[in-house]
Structure 1
């Protein structure tokens, strides 16, 4: 095999990898659900330790009266002054910003 043929193969492979990555970002522009949950947990941990957390890995539509956006639903539990507090949240799937937080 000639060096030229090898370099052409490497360049073609790199170009294909870049194209595939760009296409996958366009097809699924959402943040990973685990990353969103870790960001929410990080913010809650600033106040008190958390005992548990969960997130639903599929997006669902959330309507705030003005627009409809895809969100991840999840929850956080923590103990404050001996009392168990449970929060449910909806976080924007594209940015990770919490759009709804309900203490239940």
Structure 2
């Protein structure tokens, strides 16, 4: 048996193992990115951008701890926050709830007694 043929299975095994390792790494990264929550500050920036399209805002906040909420189909995590803006020369406070994994706004409502 020549030297060339003796190491061929070894080289094939290394190439095969490296290929499987790379594929597993890519799949793992994609899975983690898909199931990872968005950062609360990113979500707040999205909400602020939407509110700024209608006029200036005075302040904003978001809770950095996601809470579980019951949706119709399944339970999900969400961040709560708020936006303060002037409307008709009065400060008005809006509260919002955004899904943690996608940043999708689930609800926006004017807070009771928010006219200061």
What is the TM-score when the length of structure 2 is the normalising length?
Answer: 0.66
Number of the residue aligned with 1:60:
67
What stretches of structure 1 move > 4 A for 4+ residues in a row?
Answer: none
1:48·1:80 contact (CA, 8 Å) conserved in 2? no
Segments of 5+ residues of structure 2 without an aligned counterpart are: 1-20, 112-116
Give the deviation of 1:23 after TM superposition: 8.7
Describe the SS at the equivalent of 1:48. Answer: coil
- Kindly indicate whether structure 1 or structure 2 has the higher relative contact order, using CA contacts under 8 Å at least 6 residues apart: 1
Larger CA Rg, structure 1 vs 2 = 2
Segments of 5+ residues of structure 1 without an aligned counterpart are: 1-14
C-alpha RMSD of matched pairs (Å): 2.7
What is the TM-score when the length of structure 1 is the normalising length?
Answer: 0.73
Describe the SS at the equivalent of 2:47. Answer: helix
Give the one of 52, 62, 75 matched to 2:82. Answer: 75
> How far apart are the structure 2 equivalents of 1:79 and 1:95?
29
Matched positions, count: 90
